[in-house]
Amino acid sequence: MTVWSSDATFQLTGACIHSLRFAFGAPVGYPQGVPLTDEAGGPPALFRRIQAASPPPTRGGATWQTGMILAKQPFDPETGAGKLADVSCEEGIPALDAPELGTVVLDQWFRVEKRQHVVDFPGDDQGNCMISIKYWDPRPKGQLKTKATVAYYDDKYVMKWSRPVKAGDWVAVSFDAFYPPERDSADIIFPIGSCDDRCPS
């Protein structure tokens, strides 16, 4: 599912026991975001940090799924993994806490080349992941879909986990290192699935 977070678009293309595969584009025009400079056409590339933790960090000291709703009931990770497109978040729930060091399974910087691209929201992979809080929705009122043009984009990121993960484990990804606690950016949550043709192993 193409999701908006941290003034960027994230598309999960695969997550197995070996690696994370995704597409990333920015900026998407988040109203509270810091605009990029237009001087000399903007920088040739952006550098962003991705951090992932498994299991996902707690939320205000409670379980990470606290405040997440599926079919008008509290979201249950044991039974709801196949229905992520229908999960919503209660208004005002806290962001995920900083992860414990032993749960960090990925922490690295990556480069996003300047490359204009049109992104669909939601994408055709809808249901692969969900966001951790309510976040800005770029769709015009009353519309189910929209498009956004990003100036920086790449869809070929493949990153190996730094610690072992198991099939079915849940992972949370942050582009703000899960900090500060009062951040308004959403983190991304999904379960570990199967290998595919992009798996490096």
**Can you give the pLDDT at residue 92?**
92
Give the pLDDT band of residue 38 (cuts 50, 70, 90): low
Give the pLDDT band of residue 40 (cuts 50, 70, 90): low
**Can you give the pLDDT at residue 187?**
95
pLDDT in tens, 63-100: 999 999 999 999 999 999 999 989 999 999 999 999 99
Which residue did the predictor score with more confidence, 134 or 40?
Answer: 134
Measured distance CA(88)–CA(85) in Å, rounded:
8
Measured distance CA(5)–CA(157) in Å, rounded:
17
pLDDT in tens, 168-195: 999 999 999 999 998 878 999 999 999 9
> Which is nearest to 6 in space by CA: 129, 199, 186, 153?
186
Per-residue pLDDT at 33 exceeds 60: no
CA distances from 174 to 42, 71, 112, 141, 190 (A): 25, 26, 16, 27, 12
> Which is nearest to 132 in space by CA: 87, 78, 80?
87
* Assessment of whether the complete model's pTM goes beyond 0.85: yes
Average pLDDT, the chain: 88
